[in-house]
Amino acid sequence: MFSLLAELPRESVVEVEGTVRRSEKANRGSELFPEKVTVVSRAELPLPLGVVDKVGADLDTRLDHRVLDLRKPSVRAVFELRSALLTGLRDAYLRRGFLEVETPKILRQGAEGGATLFGVQYFDQKAYLAQSPQLYKQMLMGAGFERVFEIGPAFRAEPSDTVRHVTEIGMLDAEMAYIDGAEDLRRTLEGVVHDALASTKAALTPGGNPLAPRIPDVTLPFPRIPFATCEEWLGRPGAELDFGAEDERAIGVRAEKEFENPFYFLTDFPTKVKERTFYAMRDDRDPARTFYFDLEYRGLEIASGGVREHRLDRLIENMSRAGFDPKTFGGYLEAFRYGMPPHGGWGFGVDRMVQSLAGLPNIREARLFPRDRYRLDP
């Protein structure tokens, strides 16, 4: 038995029968004294990636051999956090009367259109992978499903080789009908996040997950910071340019210093910034502004949403201005022809939230088998 175990390659699978005895020297307070060992599966040598070794490996090597990488307790801890977070989010939505739904991921057209769509051959037709469930969420508002949420993948054909972008992303989308304005949405979203984080921390702490202490105890309400205020902080008032990664980080530092809260909303986005988002409602009192907002966590956009345009004539007008042909959105627009209530919602980036909470340098580490423009394996 000793020779067998001494010669057995690391990561092999074995069945061991024996007697368990208390031991003060053992990490878990007990040891197994083997009486019988059966080799179930012998690992090949050499191992392409160390599992228990302290010597690190670069991310590409880890992802090339992801199954071995996932055996590391520190990596598994990330996905225990992800699972607990999704459970907390789901429970928070259900307690607020939301219905969980599933919408198609193969579409005739995209919600945002253009270069960020992955085209697929759908029998004898051209189709696209879904960028988001946006259009279907809105259609469900017209169907009388007054509160819905969906956890699922979205696909963005963005050639962005950054540490916070992947092409297949995990999203949690939500939509609400019969709202009085953007503040209804923000109050619901911040409440969901607050409850989900508390639930996640409570779930991870008893098991000793090393990431549990990283989950913040947040207070409500989250600060609301108008877009114009952020422009002033950046020294470019009135520029109406979308914020880049460096801008967001600078705003995050300023916001956390002033409000002592890692979460905050950026509100009142300019129409110019959201021009392609044809379903975003413009402010009738100031058409240069929308009722759109982002939820940020320490300088990183976690969620984005706002009040949708439920008036058919305005919606078609927005489409035309953004360069979309309303005729290609027949099924979507039909939902607005027979009574559509005021509504709005948001998309929440699960991968980014996990990356931030776990302190991961690269968003690819927040997904089991990530996809970017160079990676289709494993």
Domain ranges of the chain: 2-69, 86-366
**pLDDT for 108:** 87
Give every CB contact of residue 267 below 8 A, 6+ residues apart in sequence.
182, 186, 224, 225, 226, 227, 293
Fold of 86-366: BirA Bifunctional Protein; domain 2 (3.30.930)
**pLDDT for 98:** 98
Query: How far is Cα 100 from Cα 93, in angstroms, rounded to an integer?
Result: 9
Written as one letter, the residue type at 33 is F
Which 8-state DSSP code applies to residue 375?
Answer: B
Q: What is the pLDDT of residues 241-291, one digit of tens each?
A: 999 999 999 999 999 999 999 999 999 999 999 988 999 999 999 999 999
**pLDDT for 55:** 75
pTM: 0.93
**pLDDT for 115:** 66
**pLDDT for 37:** 94
Provide the token pair at 319.
């489409």
**pLDDT for 111:** 63
Report residues of the chain scoring pLDDT below 50.
Answer: none
**pLDDT for 116:** 82
Among the residues of 123-223, which ranges form H helices? Answer: 134-142, 182-204
**pLDDT for 114:** 60
**pLDDT for 112:** 64
Query: How far is Cα 41 from Cα 159, in angstroms, rounded to an integer?
Result: 41
The answer to whether 8 touches 39, Cβ cutoff 8 Å, is yes
Handedness of CA 368, 369, 374, 377 (dihedral sign): positive
**pLDDT for 17:** 96
